[in-house]
Amino acid sequence: MNRTVLVGLCAITLGAFATLAQAETIRIANHGQAGINAMKSTVARIEKKYGITVEVVEYPSPDKDYMTKLLTELGAGNAPDIFSAPTTAYVADMVAAGYLAPITAEFKAWDGYANFYDVAKQLAVSPDGETYVMPFMLGIQEIYFRRDVLDKAGISTEQPKDWADLLARAAEIKEKTGAYGLLFPAGVSWGTGAFDEGFQHLLVGSKTPQLATEDGKLDLTGEGVKDVFGVYKELIDKDLMPTQPLLGPEPWVIPKYQMFPEGRLAATTCGSWCYIFDWGRESKNPIPDVEKAVGTWTIPGQTGGQYVLANLAAPWGVNSKAENLELAKKVLMEIGSVETQVSYAAQIGNIPASKAAAQDPEFQKLTELLPIHAAAENGVYLKQAAGFATVAEGVARATEALLRKETDAAGAQAILVDYAREILGEEAVK
């Protein structure tokens, strides 16, 4: 009997030691196969460097579904230690909810900090002045046009000078080739893309280029907002932009993966990844010699000027309720390394936020991204404020009404303002 008890006690003691000896685990949320692949080498490096286990928790792929699950878990207090937000627009609201731990001190003390583009550093600063996310990748969008189609029709491929010039070019394309002249993502099905990939690019070159006021409110009643909706309105009413596919459940598929490669759509906003994944070497429907056949314009301003709008692509942050905050912050700094940035650039096509990436041999192989990386130096950005995610949804609803020809520019602005007031309250909207 005594012997049995002794053996039992030994087993319990050994079990306890084994548990204690197990490596500490950091849980990372990730979604989309490309994102998971991009993090593989980083995960291995972190495990080796800190002697910990990194558990990658796979989340649903579409951004909306990912955010719903992540926010539900954050609200319930059982979210992973480290996670990303799909775009900058979500960050201020996540900070206001207390989900993110501040990393200002660690980020500034980190040896990679000095090499980051200013625009990335500024985009990472929240309205309260603290930094909560690692701004390691930039999303840079431009207008991509079919140079071959325009050349053949004798249409100028010069950079449009202003909005009027851009719209006139779109009309000329339609008239001479029959193809749609220009696409800006719009509608509810496109999700935050209506804002991130279209609306805000025009807004930064408008008469009222910012939405966030000094006191942290949202000013959606500016003349620029109405004028941006006016551009959509003109494109839609003159049939310069395809509208029917944008009302479907996957609105990007037909215009970007069918119409543009076939030359039935001659110009569209797109991100740096388009040369590689949408129409380039990784595409299922590639355009031959894509870098020659497809040219880029920066987004012109309303009355002139050129704007390279930068966004944070998948900014990563630390859960404020992470069990080991210090360790989680160290892991976050590893995610910000040039190696991870280059891995993301190769897998997803976003632009590294570090200037040092330009010297990385692996990044130099991504010839399509090099000029865009250099242009990030002059990137402009929208100042962040709580409620940007709501604005993005409001823009989606307003542009959907335009797509359905149910309203005009002023009506679309009213839809946006009403939606923001309804969701955020009167006090949050100027």
Partner 1 sequence: MVRSTYEKRVARQLLLILSPSLLLLLAFVIYPAVYSVYLSFTNEALTGAAALNPRFVGLRNYSRLLHDAKFWNSLLVTFFFVVGSAIIGQFVLGLISAILLRRNLAFKQLFSSIILLPNAAPEVVAGFMWISMLAGGENATLSRIVMFFGMTPTDWLQTFPLTMIIVVNTWRGIATAMILLTAGLSTIPSEVYEAARMDGANPSQIFRRITLPLMMPTILLYMLISAVSTIAVFGLVYALTRGGPGGATEVISIYIYNQSFTAFQLGYGAAVAVVALAISLVLGIAYVRAMKVQL
| Contact residues: partner 1, CB under 8 A | 64, 68, 71-72, 74-75, 90, 93-94, 96-99, 187-189, 244-245, 247-249, 386-387, 389-390, 393, 400-401, 404, 406, 422-424
Q: Where are the alpha helices (DSSP H) in 209-350?
A: 223-237, 260-262, 290-293, 325-335, 338-348
Q: How many CA atoms lie within 13 A of 324 on its CB side?
A: 13
Distance CA 177, CA 153 (A): 7
Distance CA 110, CA 229 (A): 42
SS3 146: strand
- Which residue number, 38 or 409, has a Cβ lying nearer to partner 1? 409
| Residue 212 CB, nearest approach to partner 1 (Å) | 15
Distance CA 5, CA 188 (A): 66
| Residue 397 CB, nearest approach to partner 1 (Å) | 9
- Which residue number, 340 or 390, has a Cβ lying nearer to partner 1? 390
- Which residue number, 75 or 371, has a Cβ lying nearer to partner 1? 75
Beta bridge partners of 26: 54
| Residue 108 CB, nearest approach to partner 1 (Å) | 25
Residue 176 per-residue DSSP state:
H
Structure token pair of residue 164: 């009027």
- Which residue number, 82 or 246, has a Cβ lying nearer to partner 1? 246
- Which residue number, 89 or 202, has a Cβ lying nearer to partner 1? 89
153 burial type by CB count under 10 A (0-12 exposed, 13-18 middle, 19+ buried): middle
Distance CA 263, CA 177 (A): 9
- Which residue number, 112 or 191, has a Cβ lying nearer to partner 1? 191
